[in-house]
Structure 1
Amino acid sequence: MNPVLNQNKSSWDAMADTWFGSTALPVYGCLAPTEDELHLFPDLSGKKVLDIGCGSGHSLCWCGQKGAAELWGLDLSEKQISNAQSYLTENGYHPRLYNAPMEQECGLPKEYFDVVYSIYAIGWTTDLKAAFCNIASYLKPGGVFIFSWDHPLMSCVDVIDDKLVFSGSYIKDEAFSYIQRGQPVTVQNRRMSAYINELADAGFVTERLIEETDSDTLSRAAEFSSGYYSPWRAQKLPLSFIIKARKL
């Protein structure tokens, strides 16, 4: 495992409990429209679903409540897998969970799943091409892949004198490190075109790209805030993006 994956795995093991139940379906991301509004998922009755970056298992539980026949999950963090196993078992489900990076082969079945999704986790990959190719291999032909992540513009702007100022580079796909809940983490900022083009190369056709702030946030007056996920910022640019793609 490469150094970034090792660092992120260790950090997520340390902070997993603090994220328990966070950003899970039907929520796609902070101040973004929800699945209740978007209806991107097909009918899950009797379907086999795989969660990439399954975290504490709350999104898989949502899929189970929607009638999914099989719940599978993958996560880099051993602690997240443990939390997901406990949570799903307590709710009467019998998931099949894998502790591995999404960009590496881990023994998941090929052309098996009807739906693969990733709620605010895909951006943790160190190799987007490999991650998308793996996901394509897990899906049946015609299967659906849905994922969400920080909008690429988010890392390019800062708040200066009550204004959003373009201070970073959208052109460069660069890794950056920061401290999250007391732990060092590293992620890769990528242009939107990187996601679209890598999906195409992996054999997907993109059906929907959502770059929106939820209507409730847009309809209310927002006081100034320099917060990264603040309503003030969300009224000026989307904080998240969501993509629905289909395997050819």
Structure 2
Amino acid sequence: MEKSSKVRTNMIGGRQVDAISVDMDKGSIHETNGLFWNTKGNDILGATALPLYGAFVSEEKHHLFGEISEKKILEIGCGSGQSLRYLGERQASVLWGTDLSENQIEKTQQLLTSCGLSAILICSPMEEECGIPKDYFDIVYSIYAIGWTTDLEGTFLQIASYLKKDGVFIFSWSHPIHKCVAAEENRLIFKKCYFDESWFSVTLGESKLALSDRKLSTYVNALAKAGFVIEQFIEESDDDLMQLQNDDFANKAKMLPVTFVIKARKL
């Protein structure tokens, strides 16, 4: 990993942090982020899981999944398993999950077993072939995980291959405008260029992570190249959820989107 001299501000969750733009290869990114989630990831960033898509956006309001009984479902970036449990308890017929972190896979297995549920779980980067069946799933989804990919177009092509024709892909991530803007003295100030998609490294305590902030158009164009059509795009924050969290982050969410969710269908 070769660090440049460019230091910038980024938003991680509701926090403003210093980031360093870096030149990283795919292997280094996987190693850095795999170690992060194997050790302190959940302690530092927490876990975002259904029914929440992220800050102030919920499945209980938007109903993007619809009726899931008898559906075959795959999660990309299953974390510690709460979203798979949520769908399993709603009678999904088949559950699969993938994650970069062995520790997260173990947590998912433990949680589902304790709830009397089962899933096929695979530890693998989402960009790589890992034995997931093709043209098999009714729904593929990802809750605050898709942004960790090192190859967005390749990942969307992989996901399209897993889905049946007319299958649904639902994913959420931190809104790129939120990642550029910080709240300072009751004002919102741009701290980073929206068009900057370079990889950056952040040190949180004793842990490091690597990310890239992509433009909304980058996600939309990658979906189109993979043969998806967008059915719903959500970026509004839920007033009821914001009222439950009366702090600077909630106040910021009243002014601009902090989470986005896309529901797309395979043509």
TM exceeds 0.5? yes
Shift of residue 30, structure 1, vs aligned partner: 1.4
Aligned to 1:31: 56
Letter in 1 for 2:143: I
Identical pairs, percent:
47
Aligned to 1:154: 178
- Identify the match of residue 237 of structure 1 among 256, 260, 264: 256
- For the residue of structure 2 that corresponds to 1:136, the secondary structure is helix
- Partners of 1:233 and 1:20 lie apart in 2 by 19
Q: Deviations over 1:31-66 (max 9, x none)?
A: 22x111001003111111000000111100111111
Aligned to 1:215: 239
- Identify the match of residue 71 of structure 1 among 95, 108, 112: 95
- For the residue of structure 2 that corresponds to 1:12, the secondary structure is helix
Distance 1:219 1:183, change over 3 A: closer
Q: Deviations over 1:107-164 (max 9, x none)?
A: 1000100000000000111110111111001000100000000000122112333211
Letter in 2 for 1:22: A
Runs of 4+ in 1 over 4 A off after TM superposition: 217-223
Distance 1:187 1:16, change over 3 A: closer
Shift of residue 175, structure 1, vs aligned partner: 1.5
Aligned to 1:188: 212
Shift of residue 16, structure 1, vs aligned partner: 4.8
- Partners of 2:164 and 2:173 lie apart in 1 by 24
Aligned to 1:101: 125
Q: Give yes or no for contact 2:44–2:204 (8 Å, CA) kept in 1.
A: no
Aligned to 2:112: 88
Distance 1:220 1:72, change over 3 A: closer
Distance 1:92 1:215, change over 3 A: same
Q: Deviations over 1:143-191 (max 9, x none)?
A: 0000000000122112333211112111221222213464100111000
| Structure 2 stretches lacking a partner, 5+ long | 1-25
- Partners of 2:101 and 2:185 lie apart in 1 by 39
Letter in 1 for 2:252: R
- Identify the match of residue 13 of structure 1 among 18, 23, 38: 38
CA RMSD after TM alignment: 1.9
Higher deviation after alignment, 86-95 or 8-17 = 8-17
Shift of residue 218, structure 1, vs aligned partner: 5.6
- Identify the match of residue 132 of structure 1 among 156, 164, 173: 156
- Identify the match of residue 121 of structure 1 among 127, 145, 157: 145
Q: Is the strand fraction higher in 1 or 2?
A: 2
Distance 1:139 1:180, change over 3 A: farther
| Structure 1 stretches lacking a partner, 5+ long | none
Shift of residue 19, structure 1, vs aligned partner: 7.3
Q: Give yes or no for contact 1:20–1:56 (8 Å, CA) kept in 2.
A: no
Distance 1:55 1:220, change over 3 A: closer
Distance 1:111 1:19, change over 3 A: farther
Q: Give yes or no for contact 1:116–1:139 (8 Å, CA) kept in 2.
A: yes
- For the residue of structure 2 that corresponds to 1:2, the secondary structure is helix
Shift of residue 82, structure 1, vs aligned partner: 0.4
* TM-score, normalised relative to structure 1: 0.92
* TM-score, normalised relative to structure 2: 0.86
The count of aligned residue pairs is: 242
- Partners of 1:202 and 1:175 lie apart in 2 by 23
